[in-house]
Structure 1
Amino acid sequence: MQDEFWARPGQSLVSHLDNVAKLASDFARDIGLPNAGFLLGSLHDQGKASQAFQNYIRSATGFWDQEDEHYVDAAGKRGKIDHSTAGSQKIWAALKGIPLKKTDPLFAQMLALCLCSHHSGLIDCLEPGGENAYKRRIGKDTGKTHLTEAVAAWGKECGPSRHDLLLECLKEMRGRFSKLLKTSPSNLCSSCITRSCSGYVPNPIAWFHLGFYTRMLLSCLLDADRIDSADSGQPLNALWRSSGETDWEKPIRRLETHLLDIQGDRPIDEIRRSVSQRCLDRAEGPKCIYKLTVPTGGGKTLSGLRFALHHARRHRMKRIINVIPYTSIIDQNADVARSILEPKSEEEFGSIVLEHHSNLEPEKETPRSRLAAECWDAPVIYTTMVQFMESLFSHGTRSARRMHRLAQAVIVFDEIQTLPVKCARLFCNAVNFLVRECGASVVLCTATQPLLDKLEQPERGVLTLEANSELMPDVENLFHQLERVEILDRTRVGGWTLEQVADLAAEQYEKAGSCLAVVNTKDWARRLYNELSCRGLPGVHHLSTDMCAAHRLCVLNEMRSKLENHEPVLCVSTQLIEAGVDISFGAAIRFLASLDSILQTAGRCNRNRERRNGPGLVHILNPDREELGPLKEIKTGQEAARRLLQEFHADPESLGGSLTHPKVIERYFLYHFFDRREEMDYTVKANKVGRTDNLVNMLSCNPKNPGNMDFHPSLRQSFAEAGRHFQVIDEATRAVIVPFGEGKDIIAELCGLHDPKMLGPLLRRAQRYSVNLFPGPSKVLDQAGAIHEIQKGWGIYYLDKRHYSDRTGVSTTVVNDMDVHIC
């Protein structure tokens, strides 16, 4: 009888459930829960055995025509036949017939949540108003969930072929979670008004981790389900998927050969070799959280990759995930890794290195990479902090599917100081979970290491570091060896006017041969660029996020070429050039900002010690007028930096005698994090959830939720609500495709598109030619009639070519450029 049920055309339901069970079990083995994964795969679609679903699927595919007695209007049924709740109800009903331990209902709830959430993303246990959404879902009318039909087809047992796996799962989960459930009591619990969990697990972080285990199990199920569903219709997909244990020997051999080939004889090359050798030596260490603190230009990128490859081989880890702060530098880092680790042949392109980010070039996409990007199925992955954090916290299924790939992985965070402060505790709790519970190792790479292990209120979440977590043996000496610039504090009462800033930039450009000026706002960047351009200086360039990614890359490549040929270059940029962009200027100017931003600008000056007549000069200026508006990060960073500069001038020796010294960086982050300590839990305002709350609460024991009064061991998280409010970067922006280079052709193709199947590929191509507009400029451009919808009702927009400059990008006024520059 079971063979008569369809999962989809061409695949029986029993085959689908068996395949998903095996895949989910393999995935969940990485977190020590293979039986739980198998059970979830076996149960997740048992509700499809209902007559209602079978009528729908046969009608939707044309197997039954309108004359058939079972035919239904499939269009009206799509997504409306509940087939995910029956498995959850089976688990809950089965508890009544077996001997239970005190925590077994909690474990059963975790399993049931995954089943009823596998099409929506994790549902709320408690909704913001206090209603128990989980109880409501489990108590749903069985006629609507088709539980009776599922039981008739598969039996009451929770597992395949009449074999009940639930007892085995509960036993497995008791063993896996025994240590977690015995976590030391938290001081927060003594003052909690509900105290509903104090008799069981009196620690919010433990509840956070239990919630994360639930999301991990859901991720295993999601990925297994999506893979089997896709491969049933496209059997060739299996040829492109990774299989078996990763062979790290080949990429290691290629990297070691490359390092031998690039050995130079300059003093800075010797320092970089020392950094690299230290990373190699420490790669034999245990799985844990490491810090790699190296000044800019010290070779962190390849040294970190060397550590990761050897560490992965030592511990037989599944993959390496490199997390980059901005899409503006991910291409650069991934291209370097690919050129080293992958063979030149087209057949093997993408076999080792995968890029997953919004600005991926279409020519870098292959059948293998498209499939791998859906679930991070590759040995070495380059992605962004946004993608990483969304895999852990966002609502829905698309990002959550990738989460389980973080288990048994080496995760390398580049420029970790760029982590938004509001995400600090979420990040710390998540990283601790991945290392303690999921067998991951983490490396925090930066020249300006934030004090994530020294946050106030550690009971709410701080990074857990071992005593020997720093990979470099003598960080202070390394900073002294790599000191290549002198930072000059030239802030003054009244600030610097536009003309004065331009005068200084032109002066430094003339003296040093090249100069970088980094400002805080796009308005300042545009005005300063225009002022310098009007002076007739050759080699003046502009960079900001008003330019699409393809445009910015063109400018960066043009500047690099000129700098290598010793041609004059004067670049005016917003902070996008700071983190990780491999480029070097003779001098630099930085508007007052956070200390880490100032030091990152300094890292683009005299990067390779090209200057023979002393250090590169970095000038800190304060503009006379600066409208920062909602840029709170910059405002608070300026305040902490001002305080630190005053202390440094009063007693420089107590801070190491240099503004680049690690003591200065540590003092800065102490001030900066103390000033922003109330923001670190990711606050959610009262108008969003009915009270002022935060995501750390909502994803742990939910103490402020009015429904959190029951005294029993159960999850009470508001998973879905927290996911809907989570954003790594606060952006109320609107994307528009701009007529730069190939963007013009893409706009034309979209406007004339008739085949909807081509929309996806065109939109992927358009990502590199899109700009995100904030509400103010977007409104002005709308009023000017400069933004047009591609086709009515599609919600895809493009910009009039008269409002895009080949020099500065999007303009709210008509520009006079002859035509858009094509690279």
Structure 2
Amino acid sequence: MELEHRKISSSSNELKSHPDKHLMEHLSNVGALCKEIISSKKLSMDEYVDFDVLQDVAYLVGISHDFGKATSFFQKYINETDELKRIKLKNKPETYHGFLSSLFTYYVVKEYFSSKNLQERRYLKYLPIICFLIVKRHHGNLHDALDETSDFGEADKAILEKQVEFIDFNKINDIYNVLFSKVQFNFDCNFFRDKILNSKPIYVYGKLKGHKKHYMHDVGGEGRRLVRNIDEERSLFYYFIALFLYSVLLDADKTDAANLKPVRRKDVSNDIVDNYKKSRFKENESKMNKMREEIYEEVMSNLKNINLDRDKILSLNVPTGTGKTLTSLSFALKIRKRIEYEKGYSPRIIYSLPFLSIIDQNYDVFNEVLGNPTTDILLKHHHLSDVLYTTEEDEFDSIDSDVGKDVLLIEGWNSEIIVTTFIQFFHSLISNKNRSIRKIHNIVNSIVILDEVQAIPHKYWLLLNKTINFLAKHFNTYFIFITATQPLIFNEKKNEIKELVKNKEKYFRELDRVKLHVVLEPILIESFKEVLKKDLIENENKDFLIVLNTINSSKDVYDFVKELNIKNSKIYYLSTNIVPKSRLKRIKEIKKETKERKIIVSTQLIEAGVDIDVDIVYRDFAPLDSINQVAGRCNRNFRDTKGIVKIFVLKEENREYYKYIYGTFLPSKTENVLKDKNKINESEFLKINEKYFEKIDIEKSDDESMSILETLEKLKFEDLSKFKLIKEDYFKIDVFIELDDYAKYVWRKYCEIKELPPFERRKEFLKIKKDFYDYVISVPKNYAAGFEEGVINYVSKDEVSNYYDAETGFKRETAGEGVLIC
């Protein structure tokens, strides 16, 4: 870097990009980082773009993205030391550098293609406009392609031309002569100045009708041609190449601006799970453990049969409780080593789950297997996870660490194994948001394990099929779907997905842990309680799990069971009506061995992979995949006595409870496959599941998937901000419950933080965010009269008894009186 500084005049070195950094240094670093990130990838995109060309384009984007900071307006702002003056200068439109930089990038990339005779290549001719789009919004979120390239407002044009007039092009040419030489490319920045300041005559039928600035004609025309071309192509290439290059630029820019060193990749032994199993699990010849080991060995033996060029979408479809978590981790580590040896790169492993309730559980397993590693090896990332990033070389103190830098490293997924949610993963793939998209280049070339994929709404199956296929085929990203109930996102019969357990029918057939009793005739909840009472008394030594569809019905049944005063029984209540801290504590208690029998009353949150084992389950009617999940909590470890799962259709006077939660489409398919069977053995589950998902596949609507795919293809980025993988059917109000002294301390800190300036506020809140949300519940608006929308409502410790029951949580019936807002 020092050598490059000597090559340019000292006056050129006066230009700054940041208070502590020269513009030349920043552009050079970001360009080099962009190229380095691309060069570390193995892509299969030859039909679209040559790999060496893509590297050069990334470099050119990197060195051009802050061109607009060379204006005297920006330099005055960046060198100002008086804070009030600095804020005023920052808000002046002439200081904004994104639009000017994006136009410069457009002409640079366009001229580069022309110099290489690539400008008419089918997919390359629109890459300059893609680069324009991503540079323009590298400090914000992506906007729609057509809007961004349409005719610019008069005020925008005036500011742009004023900015160009206040650039010293002798200095800027001095800088860029050095930067362009690295790709054997010459570009005269004076050419760009002329493009901005000079006009082009516009003729209509041979008659002069006026003049239009060159850049308006070039960018506007090319933007319209791009959108028309996309309409005809119907390809995801432009969307994913935009996301990929945007991700690369964002990460390189933020890394250099924060003076971070790129995180060095770490090795993880591919035998680590084998070694863990040997040390942790001694000889155990139980039927369940023998089956787990058989499945494990079959999956590992299949490793050699994987064609790394073709078999990129894989399935681990085996019964619940058969060790899918450890098996999938071990397989991923072993195939990672194969890819490293045969393909020359080491994929990150991304383990994604649908629900927060099981993130911690699975993360803890991985943490134990890996021997409590640092964050650069194993990272947990969701909206409530810690904001401390650690490495072997440099472990920050959790209070004094630079939170901003830690967040950058965490949100960029700079770790070998990442445990995260479906929301984090899919909202990165389908997004216009800067912070979400930054991690895309680390999803490229990764191994993605999607656990409990049956939780993905069927309306998005086609969307996921198309996007995952593109990532697998062109970005060499491998996917492993793991579930006991495989949805038809990919069809094994059509060879769209490769099953890792060829003998899966055998394992489903041999397992006979539970029997399903199905009563499809609707029953009032009062009658249901009497049936339950009789069963609880007659089976006094059996653990029960009772799963209801609504919080109100679950509270009703819990109060009923408690009033029975059954001896030698511990009764638990679980739902989202309880603050997360208490919920997690109860789940840990439930999992402990006790002499007392357990009766657990819960909403469907218990289905989400919570690792418990009971003798008898009662379940209000639900879609078949939910019934399967709850059946997986019954006789999980294959004891000699068969478990019983009883399904009832509970109703109020006029409506079944399941309709409030699930609607009618999935329940109707469930009723269809269960209607001729009163009792079903577990050995029949696989065939029934297959029939269920086939019915869904035939009758589901792909309209929403098609609509989003069209949005992706047409680069209508802003519409993507509306995408939600899991949608709430009703508005909710957030309420902080000051349950104990620590909650009191956290709330006081929160109120102090709210008074800080915006940047400091975010930084300080990140330090308490996890603890803060341990005390927050989301209450449906119609049960929170008197509480405010759009703020965190507060119930003080003195008023907790008015609003919150220690056992069943928020008192919906009394909400709305005496609420305090900080």
One fold, TM greater than 0.5? yes
Equivalence map 1:124-523=2 (5 Å): 124-126=144-146, 132-136=147-151, 141=157, 143-144=159-160, 146-147=163-164, 149=167, 153-155=171-173, 161-163=179-181, 202-204=232-234, 206=235, 208-231=236-259, 238=261, 242-244=263-265, 246-249=266-269, 252-261=270-279, 262-263=281-282, 264-284=284-304, 285-287=306-308, 288-316=312-340, 317-343=346-372, 349-360=374-385, 370-454=407-491, 466=495, 469-492=498-521, 494-501=522-529, 503-504=531-532, 507-508=535-536, 511=539, 513-523=542-552
Distance 1:427 1:168 in 2: 43
- In the superposition, relative to structure 1, how do residues 519 and 156 fare at CA in structure 2: closer, same or farther (>3 Å)? farther
Deviations 1:335-386 (A, max 9, x none): 110011034xxxx543421100123367998569645322111011100000
SS at match of 2:576: coil
Pair 1:762-2:768 in alignment: yes
Tell me the amino acid that sits aligned with residue 715 of structure 2.
Answer: Q
Deviations 1:598-621 (A, max 9, x none): 0100000000023x23x1000010
- In the superposition, relative to structure 1, how do residues 586 and 641 fare at CA in structure 2: closer, same or farther (>3 Å)? same
**Paired residue for 1:5, among 4, 12, 15?**
15
Tell me the amino acid that sits aligned with residue 163 of structure 1.
Answer: S
SS at match of 1:495: strand
SS at match of 2:434: coil
Tell me the amino acid that sits aligned with residue 5 of structure 1.
Answer: L
Is the Cα contact below 8 Å between 2:28 and 2:179 reproduced in 1? no
Q: Which has the higher contact order (CA 8 A, sep 6+)?
A: 1
What is the number of equivalent residue pairs in this alignment? 709
- In the superposition, relative to structure 1, how do residues 464 and 397 fare at CA in structure 2: closer, same or farther (>3 Å)? farther
Distance 1:661 1:167 in 2: 64
SS at match of 2:145: coil
Tell me the amino acid that sits aligned with residue 719 of structure 2.
Answer: E
Pair 1:57-2:78 in alignment: yes
Distance 1:200 1:125 in 2: 11
Give 1:799's aligned residue: 795
Shift of 1:282: 2.7
| Aligned Cα root-mean-square deviation (Å) | 3.3
Tell me the amino acid that sits aligned with residue 806 of structure 1.
Answer: A
**Paired residue for 2:670, among 633, 637, 641?**
641
Shift of 1:477: 0.8
Tell me the amino acid that sits aligned with residue 716 of structure 2.
Answer: S
Give 2:62's aligned residue: 41
Distance 1:164 1:92 in 2: 19
Bigger drift between 272-281 and 140-149 goes to 140-149
**Paired residue for 2:120, among 101, 110, 123?**
101
Give 1:720's aligned residue: 718
Distance 1:55 1:550 in 2: 50
Bigger drift between 260-269 and 403-412 goes to 260-269
Tell me the amino acid that sits aligned with residue 141 of structure 1.
Answer: K
Deviations 1:758-805 (A, max 9, x none): 333233421222222232223x252xxxx7x9xxxx943323423122
- In the superposition, relative to structure 1, how do residues 760 and 258 fare at CA in structure 2: closer, same or farther (>3 Å)? closer
Gap regions ≥5 residues in structure 1? 127-131, 170-193, 232-236, 455-462, 683-693, 701-715, 816-823
Distance 1:80 1:759 in 2: 33
Shift of 1:478: 1.0
**Paired residue for 1:618, among 642, 645, 648?**
645
Pair 1:123-2:143 in alignment: yes
Deviations 1:547-601 (A, max 9, x none): 222221111011111xx22421111111111121111111101111110000100
Distance 1:508 1:759 in 2: 47
- In the superposition, relative to structure 1, how do residues 628 and 20 fare at CA in structure 2: closer, same or farther (>3 Å)? farther
Equivalence map 1:671-820=2 (5 Å): 671-681=695-705, 694-700=707-713, 716-726=714-724, 728-730=726-728, 732-741=731-740, 742-752=742-752, 757=760, 758-778=764-784, 780-782=785-787, 795-800=791-796, 801=800, 802-814=802-814
Q: With structure 1 as the length reference, what TM-score do the two structures score?
A: 0.79
Tell me the amino acid that sits aligned with residue 29 of structure 2.
Answer: N
Shift of 1:629: 9.2
Give 2:589's aligned residue: 558
Distance 1:529 1:38 in 2: 62
Q: Which has the larger radius of gyration?
A: 2
Distance 2:493 2:68 in 1: 43
Tell me the amino acid that sits aligned with residue 798 of structure 1.
Answer: Y
Is the Cα contact below 8 Å between 1:254 and 1:340 reproduced in 2? yes
**Paired residue for 2:31, among 21, 43, 56?**
21
- In the superposition, relative to structure 1, how do residues 166 and 389 fare at CA in structure 2: closer, same or farther (>3 Å)? farther
Is the Cα contact below 8 Å between 1:505 and 1:515 reproduced in 2? no
- In the superposition, relative to structure 1, how do residues 642 and 627 fare at CA in structure 2: closer, same or farther (>3 Å)? closer
Shift of 1:749: 3.0
Distance 2:232 2:26 in 1: 41
Shift of 1:435: 1.0
Give 2:689's aligned residue: 665
Is the Cα contact below 8 Å between 1:698 and 1:719 reproduced in 2? yes
- In the superposition, relative to structure 1, how do residues 212 and 506 fare at CA in structure 2: closer, same or farther (>3 Å)? farther
- In the superposition, relative to structure 1, how do residues 73 and 302 fare at CA in structure 2: closer, same or farther (>3 Å)? closer
Deviations 1:692-745 (A, max 9, x none): xx2221111xxxxxxxxxxxxxxx421122224445433643332222344333
Equivalence map 1:529-544=2 (5 Å): 529-537=558-566, 538-544=569-575
Is the Cα contact below 8 Å between 1:39 and 1:166 reproduced in 2? no
Give 2:131's aligned residue: 111
Is the Cα contact below 8 Å between 1:599 and 1:660 reproduced in 2? no
Tell me the amino acid that sits aligned with residue 339 of structure 1.
Answer: E
Is the Cα contact below 8 Å between 1:89 and 1:147 reproduced in 2? no
Is the Cα contact below 8 Å between 1:392 and 1:400 reproduced in 2? yes
Is the Cα contact below 8 Å between 1:407 and 1:438 reproduced in 2? yes
Is the Cα contact below 8 Å between 1:591 and 1:621 reproduced in 2? yes
- In the superposition, relative to structure 1, how do residues 437 and 167 fare at CA in structure 2: closer, same or farther (>3 Å)? farther
Deviations 1:264-323 (A, max 9, x none): 221211110111112222334234000100110011010011111111111122310000
SS at match of 1:398: helix
- In the superposition, relative to structure 1, how do residues 573 and 624 fare at CA in structure 2: closer, same or farther (>3 Å)? same
Bigger drift between 730-739 and 530-539 goes to 730-739
- In the superposition, relative to structure 1, how do residues 751 and 117 fare at CA in structure 2: closer, same or farther (>3 Å)? closer
- In the superposition, relative to structure 1, how do residues 584 and 51 fare at CA in structure 2: closer, same or farther (>3 Å)? same
SS at match of 1:223: helix
Deviations 1:99-130 (A, max 9, x none): 5215343121222221112112221013xxxx
SS at match of 2:705: coil
SS at match of 1:580: coil
Tell me the amino acid that sits aligned with residue 770 of structure 1.
Answer: V
Shift of 1:79: 8.2
Shift of 1:642: 0.8
Give 1:74's aligned residue: 88
- In the superposition, relative to structure 1, how do residues 53 and 369 fare at CA in structure 2: closer, same or farther (>3 Å)? closer
Tell me the amino acid that sits aligned with residue 769 of structure 2.
Answer: L
Gap regions ≥5 residues in structure 2? 1-10, 44-50, 188-223, 341-345, 391-397, 816-822
Give 2:48's aligned residue: none
